Structure 1
């Protein structure tokens, strides 16, 4: 398999794994918004971005803190 195709497959595989780990998790943004992750996207400028239930917009995953289990 050509190197570019292997890299693309690796990226997609990691994205799918991240999606499975993040969607449905409780999070708090650095600006205080909180909720559960609804969806994730890859963005060429910011990398991984998420949407949060009940809030409009997409945020870089770097602005997220995961809620600690009780």
Structure 2
């Protein structure tokens, strides 16, 4: 069981890091949608998904074309 717990901890750690890096940043998606990232979700099918303030829906994080630098 320790291996499973280690993997689960690693996944949750990466998820938390992704939230820290992306939430609140201005982004432009590959479909031209632009705005500020509101939330990040972990999806069984698509992996990480984001929502953008003022836009209905959730997009795969892989569709981010440009992101506001730090």
TM-score of the superposed pair, with normalisation by structure 1: 0.90
Gaps of 5+ in 1: none
Query: What stretches of structure 1 move > 6 A for 4+ residues in a row?
Result: none
Gaps of 5+ in 2: none
Q: Deviations over 1:7-33 (max 9, x none)?
A: 000100110011000001110111111
CA gap of 1:2–1:68, structure 2 versus 1, over 3 A, is: closer
**How many residues are aligned here?**
69
CA gap of 1:41–1:13, structure 2 versus 1, over 3 A, is: same
TM-score of the superposed pair, with normalisation by structure 2: 0.90
CA RMSD of aligned residues (A): 1.4
Asked whether the 8 Å contact 1:40–1:51 carries over to 2, the reply is yes
